[in-house]
Amino acid sequence: MLVFIDESGDPGFKLARVSTEVFVAVLVAFQNSDDCNAAVQAIERLASRLCISDEFKFNKSRHEVGTLFFWAVAKCVFRIRAIVVKKALIYSPHLRSDKEAFYSFLRDRC
């Protein structure tokens, strides 16, 4: 099994100043390397067609690009697990002050 994890936002809790309001962690798992390679090839074909030389950035892309991306991987075989945290709803002083505790808390819920 191949597993890839990415996050968006930051684990900080200075919400009124510099921290993001939401923290997102996403896991994508492939049962085997053939499934992973098929997804990579589908994404590379789309990137070539759209003249994208770097990674896809959904927040900086037009809605149509995101839609094309999802259509490109629609037949690929993988699983996704995501957790979205609205950080204002976390009241634990321990989780708010200890980044590793925050990550552990989220890991235990995935």
Locate the domains of the chain by residue range.
2-109
Rounded to two decimals, what is the model's pTM? 0.77
Q: pLDDT means per 10 residues in the chain (110 residues)?
A: 91 87 93 97 94 82 90 96 92 92 82
Which residues does 34 contact at the CB level (< 8 Å), separation at least 6?
Answer: none
- Among the residues of the chain, which ranges form H helices? 33-49, 63-73, 93-97, 99-109
The confidence score (pLDDT) of residue 30 equals: 98
For residues 49 and 30, give the distance between their C-alpha atoms in angstroms, rounded to a whole number.
Answer: 25
Predicted pLDDT of residue 74: 96
CA distance from start to end of the chain: 17
Instruction: Please report the pLDDT score of residue 17 as a whole number.
Output: 85
Give the closest residue to 65 by CA, choosing from 50, 76, 80.
Answer: 50
Q: What is the pLDDT of residue 39?
A: 97
Q: What is the pLDDT of residue 27?
A: 92
Q: What is the per-residue pLDDT for 10? A: 86
- Res 70: pLDDT: 94
